[in-house]
Amino acid sequence: MNTPAYPAPPATPATGNPKRKKALTALAAVVIVGAVGWSIYEYMVARHYESTDNAYVQGNVILITPQISGTVMAIMADDTDFVKAGQPLVQLDPADATVALDQAKAALAQAVRQVRTLFANNGALAAQVTLRQADVTRVSSDVLRAQNDLQRRQSLVGNGAVSKEELSHAQTRLLETQSQVAAAQAGVLAAREQLASNQALTEGTSIDQHPAVMIAAAKMREAFLTTQRAALLAPVDGYVAKRTVQLGQRVAAGTPMMSIIPLKNVWVDANFKEVQLRDIRIGQPVKLVADLYGKKIEYKGLVAGLGVGTGAAFALLPAQNATGNWIKVVQRVPVRITLDAEQLQANPLRVGLSMLAEINISNTDGKRLADEPRSADAALSQAFSASNDQAEQSVQRVIAANAGENYVATVASTAVKPGLSAKPVLKAVSKTVPKSSAAKAAIKPVASAS
């Protein structure tokens, strides 16, 4: 029995999902718009900036070390303390230094008095030369009288008015006076030699400029500075960190005790990839954000300079790239960025904090590297200038106390760099013995008697 055949149903035309098509179209449009927007942003904005999060706060970590050895008697500052420049930090036992200073003072006083005696001897020796010259004049007149007396007796010998014995006495008298003249002339020469020898020790100098006094004064300055260095002072304003010194500790010169960090002078070292350095110039503005405060506080800075080498080049163990298994690694170069002082005071940073740095490189008129020397000192401390001045003043007081009433000390002006304390140059005006008529006469040759 045959089954009747039914006609097949008509085929339904294939139609797509309209919602899916709309979603894909919208997604494509968003991608295209985003790409166009990013391209516009990259061309108009992003290409004018270079940024890195490999940036850290740096600062001067000033190590406090003693210049002399000694025992720690007191510690006046501890970690996190704020200290002012010139404030005592550590006190060493000054007993040994004080004894050495007293000895140096005594040696200087003795040297001044010895030199003062040399100056005084010039007048006495000049008077001695004058006295010897007077002896020459006196005995020379005796020679003339003896010669005249001998000539008279020689003229009377033929008449028998003068005996040969009297003539012999006259001749002997002449010889005696001539020998006295020779002795007096020798005395003049000896006195002149003594005067010249003493003048060689004093000529062209004053009491405080005499070599013997200058040597003793230098030793006293050294001893004075040693006593001052028993107190370790803070060289700058800053905060104490890493205190390691302990009370009663015996320390040697150069032993690290603590560190002082001036937080008002910190900067940022941003390590940029070598491919980012193409348009970075000195003086370009920088925006910085610290992880400590977040994006709510934005620091303003300026590019101060670019490093002259990569970090790997200055590493303790430099990379050995001439090997068979070499792999290229993108290098980074540190860029120093200065910060605004007012912002640092309002929101202080700590050394080592992480930063995000973004440099505006739209203006490339600046220099890649500095080509002129620094006009000001990179770091300066006036905390120690007072000790040098006090040492000089102490020396001058000792000299003045032992040099006599005619010693007058004056301060000579000294040209120094702006900002530096001028070290007084103390000179003395000592009343030396002038070359009197007696001294001038001592230089003239002695007239020989005929």
Structure tokens of 242?
Answer: 């890493």
pLDDT of residue 47: 75
Mean pLDDT, rounded, of the chain: 80
**What residues contact 222, with CB distance under 8 A and at least 6 apart?**
104
Domain boundaries defined on the chain: 97-218
Say whether pTM exceeds 0.75.
no
- pLDDT per residue as tens digits for the range 28-53: 888 888 887 767 666 665 578 899 99
How many whole angstroms separate alpha carbon 56 and alpha carbon 59?
10
Sign of CA dihedral 39, 40, 43, 45: negative
| pLDDT tens-digit map of 307-353 | 999 888 888 887 777 777 778 888 999 999 999 999 999 999 999 99
**Secondary element (H or E) of residue 219:** helix 211-228
- What are the residues facing 357 on neighbouring strands? 52, 288
How far is residue 126's CA from residue 443's CA, in Å, rounded to a whole number? 10
Percent of the chain with pLDDT over 90: 44
Distance CA 306, CA 265 (A): 18
Q: Which of 234, 239, 236 is nearest to 79 (CA)?
A: 239
Q: Which residues contact 138 (CB under 8 A, 6 or more apart)?
A: 184
Residue-wise pLDDT tens for the chain (450 aa)? 455 555 666 655 555 577 788 888 888 888 888 887 767 666 665 578 899 999 999 999 999 999 999 999 999 999 999 999 999 999 999 999 999 999 999 999 999 998 888 777 777 777 777 776 776 777 777 667 767 766 666 666 666 666 666 666 767 776 777 776 777 777 777 777 776 776 667 777 778 888 889 999 999 999 999 999 999 999 999 999 999 999 999 999 999 999 999 999 999 999 999 999 999 999 999 999 999 999 999 999 999 999 999 888 888 887 777 777 778 888 999 999 999 999 999 999 999 999 999 999 989 999 999 988 888 888 888 888 777 888 999 999 999 888 877 666 544 333 334 344 433 333 333 333 344 444 444 444 444 433
Residue 276 tokens read as 């980012």
